[in-house]
Structure 1
Amino acid sequence: MEVNNSKQVEQFMQFQMMSEMLKQAAGDSPSFQIAMESLLKAATDDRGNIDLSRLGLSEADLSKLGYGGGERLNNVYKDIRTSIGSGSTTIEEAVEKASKRYGIDKDLIMAVIKQESDFNPKSTSHAGAQGLMQLMPGTANDLGITDPYDIDQNIDGGTRYLKSMLEMHGNSKQLALAAYNAGPGTLRKRGVDTVEEISRLSYETRDYVKKVMKYYGK
Structure 2
Amino acid sequence: MDIPKIEDYMGNMVSKEVLKKAIGDGPEFEIVYEALLKNNESNSSNNNGEENSNTYVTTGVGQKLEQIPLRMRKEPIQTGELILDDTVKRSTTTNISSNESTIDGHEDSSVDVEKIYSTVDKYSQKYGVDRNLILAIIKQESNFNPNAVSSAGAKGLMQLMDFNSEAYGLTNPFDIDENIEAGVKHIKDYINMFDGNLEMALMAYNGGQGTMERRGVKSSSNLYKMPQETQNYVPKILENYRYYRSMS
Q: What TM-score comes out, normalization by structure 2 length?
A: 0.56
Conserved 8 A contact 2:111-2:145: yes
Give the whole-Å Cα distance in 2 for the aligned partners of 1:128 and 1:163.
22
Match of 2:210 among 178, 182, 185: 185
- Aligned match of 1:203: 228
Match of 1:144 among 138, 153, 169: 169
How well do the aligned residues superpose, as a CA RMSD in angstroms?
A: 2.4
- Aligned match of 2:192: 167
Q: How far did residue 193 of structure 1 move?
A: 1.7
Q: How far did residue 83 of structure 1 move?
A: 3.4
Give the whole-Å Cα distance in 1 for the aligned partners of 2:175 and 2:167.
16
Structure number having the greater helix percentage: 1
Aligned length: 150
Structure 1, unmatched stretches of 5+, are 1-19, 38-76
Equivalent residue letter for 2:195: G
What is the 5 A alignment of 1:85-104?
Answer: 85=113, 90-104=115-129
Match of 2:85 among 24, 39, 42: 24
Give the whole-Å Cα distance in 1 for the aligned partners of 2:177 and 2:141.
16
Give the whole-Å Cα distance in 2 for the aligned partners of 1:26 and 1:91.
22
Q: How far did residue 28 of structure 1 move?
A: 5.2
Q: 1:109 to 1:128 in 2, by over 3 A?
A: same
Give the whole-Å Cα distance in 2 for the aligned partners of 1:208 and 1:171.
18
Equivalent residue letter for 1:24: D
Q: How far did residue 188 of structure 1 move?
A: 1.3
Matched position secondary structure for 1:121 = coil
User: Comparing both chains, which one has the higher relative contact order based on Cα–Cα distances under 8 Å and sequence gaps of 6 or more?
Assistant: 1
Q: What TM-score comes out, normalization by structure 1 length?
A: 0.63
What are the superposed Cα offsets for residues 55-96 of structure 1, whole Å, 9 maximum, x if unpaired?
A: xxxxxxxxxxxxxxxxxxxxxx6xx132344xxx71101100
Give the whole-Å Cα distance in 2 for the aligned partners of 1:157 and 1:120.
16
What is the 5 A alignment of 1:61-72?
Answer: none
Conserved 8 A contact 2:103-2:139: no
Q: 1:27 to 1:100 in 2, by over 3 A?
A: farther
- Aligned match of 1:114: 139
Amino-acid identity (%): 37
What are the superposed Cα offsets for residues 182-203 of structure 1, whole Å, 9 maximum, x if unpaired?
A: 1111111112121101111111
**Higher CA-based Rg:** 2
Give the whole-Å Cα distance in 1 for the aligned partners of 2:144 and 2:188.
20
Give the whole-Å Cα distance in 2 for the aligned partners of 1:200 and 1:27.
36
Give the whole-Å Cα distance in 2 for the aligned partners of 1:192 and 1:160.
23
